[in-house]
Amino acid sequence: YIPREFGTGVVIDRAGLILTNEHVLGDVKQSSYAVWTGGRAYSAEVQGTDPWLDLAVLKIDADNLTPITLGDAKGLKKGQIVIALGNPYAIAKHGEVSASWGIIANLARKAGPRPNPADPQRNRETLHHFGTLIQTDAKLNLGTSGGALVNLQGQMIGLTTSLAALAGYEKAAGYAIPVDAALR
């Protein structure tokens, strides 16, 4: 099975809850979802989405998963080393995430526009257009949205949400939703 679209998610509950970005899901009414974890594929059901926060929760029929430890973005500083975990170009289809590292480049950054002529509803603003995002220079390729941005203690301090690249160009800037009260 090779997906047409792909993204990343984070296990947040032993009973199979997976956190990702809402924009990763595409058209929920016309899509089916699979989650790979522990070397196994699971059918996933959407439990809820929040386009304003760009968050979504999926549920898989699994138990005894190891959820990620949530940190707190409140204490982040520019220059702090971070690791981004994700599924670039769907290479992690067997549940083995890829990692890249970088630093916190800035805090309280605004999200860029997401033009999508095929779906004008996707052009709407989110909370992150008002300056809530963590900026990192960790490499975020296509497919890493919805992955964990972790500190050196292994705590998730952000959920990667976008990269600042135009088609055909690489830019060393990516963004993550901070683990704060709104995300929790």
The active-site residue, picked from 13, 23, 94, 129, is: 23
Q: Decide if 145 is catalytic.
A: yes
Structure tokens at 95: 């549940």
Distance CA 102, CA 148 (A): 13
Active site residue 128: no
How far is it, in rounded angstroms, from Cα 175 to Cα 173?
7
By residue count, the chain amounts to 184
Query: Catalytic residue among 43, 54, 129, 162, which?
Result: 54
Residue pair 156/68 in contact (Cβ under 8 Å)? The answer is yes
Residue tagged active-site, from 98, 128, 137, 145: 145
Phi, psi of 127, rounded to the nearest 5 degrees: -55, -30
Instruction: Establish whether 98 is a catalytic residue.
Output: no
Distance CA 114, CA 62 (A): 34
Q: Which residues pair with 86 in a beta bridge?
A: 98
Catalytic residues: 23, 54, 145
